[in-house]
Amino acid sequence: MIDNKALAEYCDDYLSKDKFDDYCPNGLQIEGRKEISKIISGVSANLDLIERAIDEKADALFVHHGFFWKNERTSITGFKKNRIKALLDNDVNLFAYHLPLDAHSIVGNNIQLAMRLNIANPMPIGDTLVWQGEVNSKLSGVEQAIKNITERTPLVFGDGEKVIKKIAWCSGGAQSYIEHAIEVGADCFITGEVSEQIPAIAKENNIAFISAGHHATERYGVQALCQHLSQKFDLKHQFIDIDNQV
C-alpha cells in the first residue's frame, strides 16, 4: 500500500516527467482515495475502461492517454463530465503519462515494442522520440511478427521480399516522423497510424512503412510501468485492454 501523492512523486521522478513539453499534463490528473493497494492499467481513459476499473475495485487507474489535452474544449461537459464524474464518485485516482511513457528506456512504449519484435541494439535517434535498431528479416517477416504480438493485420507499404536490416519505429500517431527514419537510412519505419501523404513519401525514399495501430503499439508501456510499481510497492495490478481498431 502507498499514499497517492507519494506514488505520484515516485512516478514523476521515475519517468522524468519534467523533461517533456507535452500535449497534456502528466502525472496524477484526478485525485481519488489516499491509500492505494490495487492499480489497473489501460491505454486510454475512456468510460468503458473507467467502469471496468470501478468494477474491479481499483484504487488507481494508470493510462497513456488521459485528460486535458491542448487545443480541446476546456469545459467539463458531455462525455468528459461523465468520465470525470465516474472517477470522482468512486474515489479512483487517475494517473496519465504520455510522452514520458513513450520515451522511457525501460518501461517505455518504444523499448517495450522493440523487445517484443526482437529488435537488436534499440536506441533513440538523437533527442527525438523515434527509435532505431537492427533486424535481419524480409518485410513480410516483420509484418508477421507484428501480427503475432498485436493480434491484428497491419497496413503495410512496400515489397514483402524487401530485406530489412535497419529499422526505425515510434509508437502511436507518429507517421510524420518518417523523415527521421529516412535520415538514418532505415529500411522500414513502424508506427501506429498513417496519413494520406505517407505511401508516396515511403515509395520515393525506398523505405517500407508499417501502420500497426495506435492503440496496439501503446499497450505495453503502461503495463510495464504498473508491473514495476506492483513489484516495488507490493500492489495488486491488472491490465485491462479495451479493444480499439485504430
Q: Are 158 and 205 within 8 A, CB to CB?
A: no
Residue 226 forms part of a structural domain: no
Average pLDDT, the chain: 97
Do residues 113 and 213 both lie within one domain?
yes
Residue where one domain finishes, among candidates 65, 98, 131:
98
* pLDDT tens digits, one per residue of 172-184: 999 999 999 999 9
For residues 181 and 53, what is the distance between their CA atoms, to the nearest angstrom? 38
The CATH number assigned to the domain holding 43 equals 3.40.1390.30
Q: Which residue has the cell 508491473?
A: 227
As a whole number of angstroms, the distance between CA 41 and CA 238 comes to 6
pLDDT at residue 10, as a whole number = 98
- Report the SS3 class of residue 158: coil
Residues 8 and 76 in one domain: yes
Is residue 153 included in any domain, yes or no?
A: yes
Q: What is the mean pLDDT of residues 142-171?
A: 97
pLDDT, residue 222, reads: 98
Question: In the chain, how many domains are there?
Answer: 2
Same domain? 13 vs 84: yes
Q: Check whether residue 129 and residue 153 sit in a common domain.
A: yes
What residue ranges in 74-186 does DSSP mark as E strands?
93-96, 120-124, 131-138, 155-157, 163-169
> Structure pTM?
0.95
User: Are 159 and 197 contained in the same domain?
Assistant: yes
Q: Which domain does 77 fall in, by range? A: 2-98
